Amino acid sequence: MTTAEKHEFPMARTCPFAPPPAYEEIREEEPVSRVRLPDGGWAWVVSRHEDVRTVLNDRRFSADRQHPDFPALVEGEAASRRPDEERMLIAMDAPEHGPARKAVLGEFTVRRLEALRPRIQEIVDGQIDALLAGPRPGDLVDSLSLPVPSLVICEMLGVPYADHEFFQEHTVKVIKQSTPPEERWAAAQAVQGYMADLVAEKEENPPDDLLGRQIVKLRADGTYRRTALVGMGFLLLVAGHETTANMISLSTMAFLRNPEQLAMIKADPARTLNAVEEMLRYFTIIDVATARLCVEDIEVGGQRIRAGEGVLALGYSANRDPRAFENPDKLDIERGARHHVAFGFGPHQCLGQNLARMELQIVFDTLFRRIPSLELAVDVDELPFKDDANIYGLYQLPVAW
């Protein structure tokens, strides 16, 4: 039995500030090793930073989540796959993936996002106004963490924010590990159905929003398919609010627990961007979403992986690898850790990473400037962490000032 086979995957975090304890053991003793999955199948885990980047950047590893042999991280997941459905961007391989990604990449350039900065600032200020005017203690998740990225991505896509409760309710079901496969699929279908209706409306007279511009551009290229745009819209809507929301909550908590780190960005906001990178590395809220299927024999970390075998590239383990980060378990906002893999790596690296960085920077600079006396209203041990979700975070964050 290998070091990793002694443990069940995926593993839950036992501490909000550290990966599962077994990750270090696996990374140091047998960094590429076989593990059992919930459905009884098995896959390889890759746990070191260099090897994780290799897996994510090599075309011999497929991202096709609808392939019957793709590693299933939730019991019953494989049986619910529908190979004939339209593949979303995150499930595409070359040569299909490149043109599909390029078609929407222009929406996330630094120049276009900088044009959004004043509006994001306005949204953040408005939510902080509401927090200050509300009850004390307040819930930062409800007042700031969720509304800010939700409003931003809704405005970018052209999705009515009035419908946010609908898609947030269904998103929770999609990412919760305990959701039965049929219910998870139904929740995803409900949001995709909503998106399909919205896209159909925009087709008649495409507005100047992301979805509308994609309709115009893809029609001009002769490549427009409604189902493909619906998948893209679904992906951006779900990923665009849930991930950044959890990073706002977790990072705010970490700053309040580490006043010496917080004092640095208060004294010099130029440090905030490095602080954002460190928070992304430190928490790595999406860990094994970077699973892959080997499609051609390859050696990784001295281990032969054969075509047809599944691989789990452990991002959280990679981001705590001492070979890549000195004293990796310490939170150090001056680290400058841009080589982390919290956004993935290679051709599938997160499209919206620069948008997330901008939102986090604006939130932290504004929140701690406007509410310098902000503090946790309960002990960390009392906080409801998302131990049951595929995207780690907090359900609530009570704060006082």
Has residue 5 got a pLDDT over 70? no
Higher local confidence (pLDDT), 178 or 401? 401
Contact 104, 351 (CB under 8 A): yes
* Segment 206-264, tens digit of pLDDT: 999 999 999 999 999 999 999 999 999 999 988 888 899 999 999 999 999 999 999 99
* pLDDT attached to residue 79: 54
What's the angle, vertex CA 208, arms to CA 204 and CA 209, rounded to 5? 100
Has residue 3 got a pLDDT over 80? no
Gap between the Cα atoms of 30 and 195, Å rounded: 44
* Segment 79-121, tens digit of pLDDT: 556 666 778 899 999 999 999 999 999 999 999 999 999 999 9
Gap between the Cα atoms of 367 and 123, Å rounded: 12
Gap between the Cα atoms of 145 and 252, Å rounded: 10
Contact 342, 319 (CB under 8 A): yes
DSSP string spanning 216-244?
HHHHHHT---HHHHHHHHHHHHHHHHHHH
* pLDDT attached to residue 143: 96
Spatial neighbors of 270 by CB under 8 A, at least 6 apart, are none
Q: Which domains does the chain have, with CATH numbers?
A: 21-400 (1.10.630.10)
For range 272-286, the mean pLDDT: 97
| H/E segment holding residue 398 | strand 398-400
* Segment 46-78, tens digit of pLDDT: 999 999 999 999 999 999 998 989 998 876 565
Gap between the Cα atoms of 282 and 289, Å rounded: 17
- Give the other-Cβ count within 10 Å of 204's Cβ: 7
How sure is the predictor about 322, in pLDDT bands with cuts at 50, 70 and 90? very high
* pLDDT attached to residue 12: 86
Greatest mean pLDDT range, 1-5, 34-38, 320-324: 320-324
- Residue matched to tokens 């076989």: 34
How sure is the predictor about 164, in pLDDT bands with cuts at 50, 70 and 90? confident
* pLDDT attached to residue 83: 61
Which range is least confidently modeled, 60-69, 174-183, 339-348? 174-183
> Hey, which residues does 18 pair with through a beta bridge?
15
